[in-house]
Structure 1
Amino acid sequence: MNRRSFLKTMGITSVAAGGFGTAYAMRRNPYYQGPVSDHFDGLRFFNPGGVEPPGIIDLARWQVTSSASPWPEAWPQKTTSVLPVERVSGDDLRATMVGHATILIQVGGVNILTDPVYSRRTSPVSFAGPQRVNEPGVRFEELPPIDLVLVTHSHYDHLDLATLERLHANHDPLVVTPLGNDTIIRSAIPAMRVHAQDWGDVTEWGPVAIHCEPAHHWSARSLWDRRMALWASFVVETPAGNIYHVGDTGFHSGINYRAAREKHGGFRLANLPIGAYEPRWFMQSQHQNPEEAVQGMMLCGARNAIGHHWGSFQLTDEAVEQPRQDLHAALSRAAISQERFRALLPGDAWEVPVDRLEDSLGQSMLFR
């Protein structure tokens, strides 16, 4: 079954999950009960001043009018698999692309895995749905000890219960995730250590602090739980500099990027999504494109950036290489070096450079 047939018959993938859930039959949130806030109405979460995700009519229009570019069954022809170092220390910051939004971040003696997906498909079923076209850039058996896992939201290409179960059995990491996703994880893996955060919360773990910050997106695992678990980005405050990890987001006029810079003062590294953005009329409110990702890099004050969420699973209409091509064109227009904003392939590892500034006394300071 191909991608379009699956969408038409199931109506749920990591991109359009819950697109049919506009009939609010469920009046109780099964994942989270808490006070009303500026982004929770007592039943569902929402983006303040933002745009709701498209519904069934727009989804049907996309499927009828779609002119998706065909993807190869395997790309690139040979995927590099690397053996990471066990840990890094001092000012070192090492990022290794596993695939899609899964990045191994090693900093300050701590190993962090973002949105880990090792499954063959990003789907509620094992026999259909988007299938990866490359192997993970780090074999699961060759992961170093994983201390922390960051899960940004509940879509299947970010919250993969099968992978989390393997991580629990082999590494027993602490999972940090937005409100409601902890219930989803614990329902499948009761013994997993999970800490749920609201926007603005901070959790300390050893030498790092994990801040939960807004993103303009949404969530769903089925037809009926649309926006019932929170979505977020994360800021990881480390002795070697701040790291900004954004799983999925619409650009939202750059509001969240500006707020992140105002609050955290800039970043040594930002992991920003650059894929799953075509057609724009359907995707633009929830998925930024590479041009917007470059704007986001500048607005949040990131010295370096990794482009992720591309090249592993075909979720939308653009060709497999288009995100990287569009990113390079956007960087050229902004006069930013491609060395500073890299669209990593699975198996690519980057020793993120240290930028040092001179303070008024001439003393060297680490940019963070």
Structure 2
Amino acid sequence: MGSQGKSYDGPPSDHFDGRLFFDPDGVPPKSLRDVLRWQFGGDRQREIWPKWVPSPHADTPPQRVNGDKVRLSFVGHASWLIQTSGKNILVDPVWSERASPVRWAGPKRVNDPGIDFSALPPIDVALVSHGHYDHLDIATLSKLAAKFSPRIVTPLGNDATMRRANSALRAEAFDWHQSVELGGGLAATLVPTRHWSARGLFDRNRALWASFVLKTPAGKIYVVCDSGYGEGKHFRRVRETHGPLRLAILPIGAYEPRWFMQDQHMNPADAVKALADCGAERALAHHHGTFQLTDEAIDAPVKALHAALDEAKIPHERFVALKPGQVVEIQ
């Protein structure tokens, strides 16, 4: 199941012990025993999602967006198309029907991608945050490679996973705090995030995970693809090191039950605290409403986000949850 080969061979560091990656400010992933307790424990309360919840929106993006404007199109779950400075960038592109190592089982989409694959403009770069199947989708990356041959920027070790699956994938691996020039004056810096990575049962943390700070002509965009909150250190450090931030893209879904998920996924209240910590002018929500990975209802994240914003006395328009196919522009 999944990729079991060695992913990375490099010198030890403050987050790599020579074999496994780790977060000095995080915690190890849950044990198999905890997984079984969650899945089969008698106290599990799982909300059943509808089989199909189509978005009323669909985007046909332009071929290019030039100048200082940044156009962000929400594809669904954690996938985005970001267009600016004549460059087209995809974040964690997943167009597959399932977020799973197999086609016949696993979390299944409940809505179409907000952009039909045939409507994509020429893709220059794909940013892939880590190896979980709802973020690193070999089938989609292979389709992108065949059609556009984009650069793929990813944390250490994930490049080996990609190349083992398809040698045509132009994967480039980087460590936390490294900055990558993307052309057109754009750059992506990989920053620590409170999470973990695996493709199978026996390769936990053999590859690194990251969030991205994207430098654009309209300001810096902080893209958090997956993260727990912890004590908020990761978000405050990004503010201190990379601020000011024009926009944050923050996950709000896949958070129940909290005893299992809190160290790896934020709930909406955590995401509102993360917005305050990172200091971004505004935020867009993602990681909700497309694949059921955990136990909360499909509409629970957005309802809880609105409640958390009200509690924090933050206007709803400062932190918006889009539906697939919706677009936001900043300049």
Q: Please give the TM-score of this superposition, normalised by the length of structure 2.
A: 0.96
Q: Deviations over 1:189-235 (max 9, x none)?
A: 21222111100111112111110100010011011101100000011
Match of 1:134 among 91, 111, 121: 111
- Asked if 2 retains the 8 angstrom alpha-carbon contact of 1:96 and 1:105, the reply is yes
Q: Distance in 1 between matches of 2:144 and 2:326?
A: 22
Residue 271 of structure 2 corresponds to residue 302 of structure 1: no
Match of 1:311 among 289, 297, 310: 289
Q: Distance in 1 between matches of 2:317 and 2:121?
A: 26
- Asked if 2 retains the 8 angstrom alpha-carbon contact of 1:216 and 1:251, the reply is yes
User: Counterpart of 1:204?
Assistant: 181
- Asked if 2 retains the 8 angstrom alpha-carbon contact of 1:272 and 1:305, the reply is yes
Q: Please give the TM-score of this superposition, normalised by the length of structure 1.
A: 0.86
Secondary structure of the structure 2 residue equivalent to 1:268: strand
Q: Percent of aligned pairs with the same residue? A: 54
- Asked if 2 retains the 8 angstrom alpha-carbon contact of 1:79 and 1:137, the reply is no
User: Counterpart of 2:318?
Assistant: 340
Secondary structure of the structure 2 residue equivalent to 1:112: strand
Q: Deviations over 1:261-298 (max 9, x none)?
A: 11111211111110000010110011111111111111
User: Counterpart of 1:167?
Assistant: 144
User: Counterpart of 1:292?
Assistant: 270
User: One-letter code of the match for 2:120?
Assistant: L
Q: CA deviation at 1:240?
A: 1.8
User: One-letter code of the match for 1:137?
Assistant: G
- Asked if 2 retains the 8 angstrom alpha-carbon contact of 1:108 and 1:240, the reply is no
Q: CA deviation at 1:153?
A: 0.3
User: One-letter code of the match for 2:73?
Assistant: T
Match of 1:69 among 47, 52, 76: 47
Alignment of 1:1-368 (within 5 A): 30-63=6-39, 64=41, 65-76=43-54, 78-206=55-183, 207-352=185-330, 354=331
User: One-letter code of the match for 2:268?
Assistant: P
- Asked if 1 retains the 8 angstrom alpha-carbon contact of 2:122 and 2:148, the reply is yes
- Asked if 1 retains the 8 angstrom alpha-carbon contact of 2:69 and 2:217, the reply is no
Q: Distance in 2 between matches of 1:336 and 1:94?
A: 24
Secondary structure of the structure 1 residue equivalent to 2:291: coil
Q: CA deviation at 1:38?
A: 0.7
**Misfit runs of 4+, over 6 Å:** none
Q: Distance in 2 between matches of 1:341 and 1:170?
A: 34
Q: CA deviation at 1:80?
A: 2.1
Q: CA deviation at 1:79?
A: 4.0
Paired residues, number: 328
User: Counterpart of 1:7?
Assistant: none
Secondary structure of the structure 1 residue equivalent to 2:213: strand
Q: Deviations over 1:108-146 (max 9, x none)?
A: 221111000000001111100000000000000001111
- Asked if 2 retains the 8 angstrom alpha-carbon contact of 1:79 and 1:135, the reply is no
Q: Deviations over 1:29-68 (max 9, x none)?
A: 7010001111111111011032111112211211123211
Q: Distance in 2 between matches of 1:169 and 1:142?
A: 15
Q: CA deviation at 1:171?
A: 1.1
User: One-letter code of the match for 2:36?
Assistant: A
Q: CA deviation at 1:312?
A: 0.1
Q: Distance in 2 between matches of 1:176 and 1:116?
A: 12
User: One-letter code of the match for 1:186?
Assistant: R
User: One-letter code of the match for 1:131?
Assistant: K
User: One-letter code of the match for 2:155?
Assistant: P
Q: Distance in 2 between matches of 1:266 and 1:291?
A: 22
Secondary structure of the structure 2 residue equivalent to 1:281: helix
